[in-house]
Amino acid sequence: MLLRVGQTAALALCAWLPGYAQVNLETPNAAPQVPRQVAMPVPSPGARGTPSTPEAPSTTAMPGNQNPFLGGISTGVATDTVLPLSLADAVARGLKYNLGLFLGEQGTREAQAARLYARSGLLPTLTTNTSDYGQQLNLKALGFQGFPGIRPIVGPFNVFDTRAYLSQTVFNLSSLRTYRAGNESLNAARYSYLDARDIVVLSVAGLYLQAVAGRARIDSAEAQYRTAKALYDRAVNMKAAGVVAGIDVLRAQVQMQAQQQLVIYYRNEFEKNKLALERAVGIPVGQPVELTDTMDYTPPPPLSLTEALALAYQNRSDYKSQMASVRAGELQRAAAVAERYPSVSFNGNYGDIGPRPWNSHGTFLATGTVTIPIFQAGRVRADILNADARLEEAKARLADLRNLIEQQVRAALLDLNAAGAQVKVAQEAVGLAQQQLRQSEDRFAAGVATSVEVVQSQEAVATADENYIASLYAYNIAKAALARAVGGAERTYFLFLKGTK
């Protein structure tokens, strides 16, 4: 069971990596479904010699259906110098160059543009117009069939006119409430952007931990290979001395080659995991990277369920975004209702008009207008129904999100406690398996056991090592998920993962 802990933890992590859609005024935190991210495949304990087939989708998604939080904007040019990359460095780069965060920023700008557009309806508009034209009129064409002493053809004559036009909404309650709704929608978009930053922290940390776990698997596989080679060399010497049969040499050689295959496999997977990490944080393709942090067992600060829930409702940006969406929906509905109310506007102009610029005179026009809706053929009622439907949808999403937050906090604490217990069990199992291997090697060297017992002991050590790596990876992922669950992961992730600020 412990061998699947790493994959299970990665599947839990992918639940925190929603797809990203650009924010708009109607649904500022909308997000489509996206491909899942999983841990690299782990060979089953019964077939340590051959890498098993992955049971879950790869982190590589097809273009057009990819998770933007696994992408990044590459910066700079690759060099031959090895770039040291710590977890903190990776997260910092992700917060600058991750594709999902860049798209989130553009969504905030779109919401800001919509707010400015709504505000423009409340501010005065001032334009100018200057014209100079010549004209000749035919009075007969205008219905004048002739007057004594008046020629039917008038002109040609010249008209020069330069004028400024002012338009101002004096009172329009619907426009005012629409503008306030735009403010709340902009707040929702900004909170969504902050939430996207937390998702970047979690996704980059997950990719980094996945790569570090892959490096630990390489170290374990190389250690197993050295042990298997030592057994093979000893079997060859013992056969030459007539102590063991040739089958023991063949069995040891098969085990050694199986471990060598695993070393090759894990090295390849580690390099692919690094590529995924480098892409998410914007490192140029081909740049050599060295991961400097290790995957250690460090308990996070103690946190009760009550404290975690209180922090989550206080800090979660997605929760704040949805609350702002509800407020925006309430104002949009109020704006629709206010379409039934009268509005007051002012229009005026002032300018010079005459035959020529030097022969002109100032004129003006000032108009105050009161518009009273009387019959609008159901348009206002339709707007109210539409706004009310969106408001109820936003309220339902808020209620569901509150339940989801509590579920995520509880699940993160459960995963953390379970993974911590599994790490302790796996640590003990590693020690016991190593003792078993030493005793079996001593028995084989003494001639009281065959190489079968030693190979089985090697398998036990390999399984115990894999269980420990998988459980430690799951434990660190659970800590990162808990940091995300309580909110403010950008500030607290390192405290949760490393146990220090």
**Burial readout 176-186 (b: 16 or more C-beta within 10 A, e: otherwise):** bbbbbbbbbbb
- Report for 27-31, 130-134, 470-474: range of highest mean pLDDT: 470-474
What pLDDT score does 500 carry? 53
Other CB atoms within a 10 A radius of the CB of residue 167 amount to 15
Has residue 4 got a pLDDT over 70? no
Q: Which helix (H) or strand (E) segment is 463 a member of?
A: helix 451-485
Least confident range of 30-34, 113-117, 297-301, 334-338 = 30-34
Give ∠ CA 197-199-205 in degrees, rounded to 5: 105
- In this prediction, residues 202-220 reach a mean pLDDT of 92
Spatial distance between the Cα atoms of 320 and 315, rounded to a whole number of angstroms? 8
Strands (E), 357-410: 359-371
Distances (CA, A) of 204 to 128, 198, 273: 54, 10, 12
Least confident range of 26-35, 202-211, 377-386, 399-408 = 26-35
What pLDDT score does 117 carry? 87
Has residue 153 got a pLDDT over 60? yes
Higher pLDDT, 458 or 26: 458
Spatial distance between the Cα atoms of 69 and 280, rounded to a whole number of angstroms? 7
What band does 146 get if pLDDT is binned at 50, 70 and 90?
low
Least confident range of 2-6, 336-340, 358-362 = 2-6
Spatial distance between the Cα atoms of 183 and 178, rounded to a whole number of angstroms? 9
pLDDT digit string, tens, across residues 77-132: 888 889 899 998 999 999 999 888 888 888 888 888 888 888 888 889 999 999 98
Least confident range of 140-144, 231-235, 334-338, 387-391 = 140-144
What pLDDT score does 455 carry? 83
Q: What's 396-458 look like in SS3? A: HHHHHHHHHHHHHHHHHHHHHHHHHHHHHHHHHHHHHHHHHHHHHHHHHHCCCCCHHHHHHHH
Give ∠ CA 430-450-219 in degrees, rounded to 5: 30
What band does 325 get if pLDDT is binned at 50, 70 and 90?
very high
Give Cα 396 distance to the centre of its chain. 23
Has residue 142 got a pLDDT over 60? yes
Dihedral sign for Cα atoms in the order 180, 182, 188, 189: negative
Has residue 386 got a pLDDT over 90? yes
**Burial readout 22-49 (b: 16 or more C-beta within 10 A, e: otherwise):** bbebebbbbbeebbbbbbbbbbbbeebb
Q: At 405, list the tokens.
A: 């937050």
What band does 251 get if pLDDT is binned at 50, 70 and 90?
confident
- Residue 458 and residue 438 in contact, taking contact as beta carbons nearer than 8 Å: no
- Report for 28-37, 44-53, 353-362: range of highest mean pLDDT: 353-362
Spatial distance between the Cα atoms of 181 and 111, rounded to a whole number of angstroms? 11
Candidate CATH numbers 2.40.370.10, 1.20.1600.10, 2.60.40.1930, 3.40.640.10; the one for domain 2-14+24-498: 1.20.1600.10
- Domain coordinates in residue numbering, the chain: 2-14+24-498
pTM of the predicted model, to two decimals? 0.76
- Beta bridge partners, 351, equal 163, 363
What band does 255 get if pLDDT is binned at 50, 70 and 90?
confident
Instruction: Report which of 297, 285, 281, 269 is spatially closest to residue 85, judged by C-alpha positions.
Output: 281
- For residue 169, give the 3-state DSSP assignment: strand
pLDDT digit string, tens, across residues 38-70: 333 333 333 333 333 333 333 333 345 578 888
For residue 156, whether the previous peptide bond is cis, meaning omega lies within 30 degrees of 0, is yes
- Report for 131-145, 191-205, 230-244, 444-458: range of highest mean pLDDT: 191-205
- For residue 85, give the 3-state DSSP assignment: strand
Instruction: Report which of 87, 77, 164 is spatially closest to residue 128, judged by C-alpha positions.
Output: 164
Spatial distance between the Cα atoms of 200 and 73, rounded to a whole number of angstroms? 13
What band does 15 get if pLDDT is binned at 50, 70 and 90?
very low
Instruction: Report which of 100, 108, 117 is spatially closest to residue 186, judged by C-alpha positions.
Output: 108
- In this prediction, residues 443-454 reach a mean pLDDT of 79
The CA dihedral of 466, 12, 35, 405, to the nearest 10 degrees, is -170
pLDDT digit string, tens, across residues 158-183: 888 899 999 998 888 888 988 899 88
Spatial distance between the Cα atoms of 123 and 471, rounded to a whole number of angstroms? 61
What pLDDT score does 273 carry? 93
DSSP 48: T
Spatial distance between the Cα atoms of 463 and 468, rounded to a whole number of angstroms? 9
Average pLDDT, the chain: 81
Spatial distance between the Cα atoms of 140 and 145, rounded to a whole number of angstroms? 5
Spatial distance between the Cα atoms of 105 and 226, rounded to a whole number of angstroms? 51
Spatial distance between the Cα atoms of 303 and 300, rounded to a whole number of angstroms? 8
Spatial distance between the Cα atoms of 426 and 47, rounded to a whole number of angstroms? 20
In order, the DSSP letters of 51-78 are: PPPPSS--SPPPTTS--GGG-B---S--
- Residue 366 and residue 316 in contact, taking contact as beta carbons nearer than 8 Å: no
- In this prediction, residues 253-271 reach a mean pLDDT of 91
